[in-house]
Amino acid sequence: MPMAAAKALREVARRRGSWAAEVGRRCLSSGSAGPAAVAERKEGGKAVNLFTAVNQALHIALDTDPRAYVFGEDVGFGGVFRCTTGLADRFGKNRVFNTPLCEQGNRAIAEIQFADYIFPAFDQIVNEAAKFRYRSGNEFNCGGLTIRTPYGAVGHGGHYHSQSPEAFFCHVPGLKVVIPRSPREAKGLLLASIRDPNPVVFFEPKWLYRLAVEEVPEEDYMLPLSEAEVIRKGSDITLIGWGAQLAVLKEACEDAAKDGVSCELIDLKTLIPWDKETIEASVKKTGKLLVSHEAPITGGFGAEIAASITERCFQRLEAPVARVCGLDTPFPLVYEPFYMPTKNKVLDAIKATVNY
């Protein structure tokens, strides 16, 4: 390669690294916690935020399994959101390294800088990783491939840094899709995903990286995949969501309670394979269902939930299934507040459904 061309490539790489770091600083500037976000010790663990819980899970995964590797864009210096901070220093650059996402074998933990950038890898994920076990007649798997990627709104990301593409991957047999709502959930679900023999796409709500803080056990632990959790019991209507949208739904439930409406709130956690039994049991009790997510409404995973529960609970439903989702437009920058499925939109849908 000519010296001039090589110098130009190095300059592009340097500028790109600086840009990535600046994006990370801007996206995290609204958080109230510091770099470690560790509060005083409490019984059972420490209060940490979501990105710290992810970082803890990655440290444990690499420490407990010599087959585990972390690779992806900028993971060597910690990643845009600093989720891989300290990994290269502790485990070495042979196990934590920057690379295009084309490695095979080992227990790979790949990070894609933003979920919006996952699409060039779509063919390999859908046509290779997801079908590897099937093609081999259950003789082989992908060695526990886990693909981590930040998704969803961040406050100023625009149409290339705010998308929620989970529904694309929910259509693919052989993949698991997992989305945590909090630091404790993120650590336990990530460790479970890494140790699962199936390929997992693990979407991390970037809005919560610094903002969500809760007590997280410091030790190694896993939370079961494909088990939804009822986080608020109610009798009038069932609300379902995942990731950062759970906080919005919780606020809507609290406001609805002031008007005498009892909401049951469920975190789906794993979108594929999803826990139909827990949702079905709740809807048979309440007779009404509302699903909410940031992704556009058409073809969103909420449509699958609505169709499945209608089939299972048709005679018990007392109103059409409501969906409060993102709009069928590219994610807007200036008009983000109009796009988002906000608390007030959810609250209006709760009242309309209950009064149907």
Measured distance CA(175)–CA(173) in Å, rounded: 6
List the Cα angle 205/123/138 in 5-degree steps.
95
Q: Residues with Cβ < 8 Å from 114, sequence gap 6 or more?
A: 80, 149, 150, 151, 160, 161, 206
Instruction: Note whether 144 and 107 are within 8 A (CB).
Output: yes
Coil, helix or strand at residue 336: helix
- Site of tokens 């934590």: 96
Measured distance CA(117)–CA(122) in Å, rounded: 10
Q: Is the peptide bond before 273 cis (omega within 30 degrees of 0)?
A: yes
Nearest Cα residue to 205 out of 250, 157, 153: 153
161 is catalytic: yes
Out of 103, 128, 251, 336, the active site residue is: 103
Q: Establish how many alpha carbons lie within 13 A of residue 270's alpha carbon, considering only the half-sphere containing its beta carbon.
A: 20
Nearest Cα residue to 267 out of 149, 178, 146, 168: 178
Instruction: Note whether 27 and 81 are within 8 A (CB).
Output: yes
Instruction: Note whether 253 and 234 are within 8 A (CB).
Output: yes
Handedness of CA 27, 32, 35, 39 (dihedral sign): negative
Q: Residues with Cβ < 8 Å from 333, sequence gap 6 or more?
A: 156, 157, 158, 159
Measured distance CA(321)–CA(303) in Å, rounded: 9
DSSP state of 329: S
Instruction: Please give the structure tokens belonging to residue 355.
Output: 């009064």
DSSP state of 8: H
Out of 40, 73, 159, 161, the active site residue is: 161
Q: Which residues does the annotation mark as catalytic?
A: 103, 161
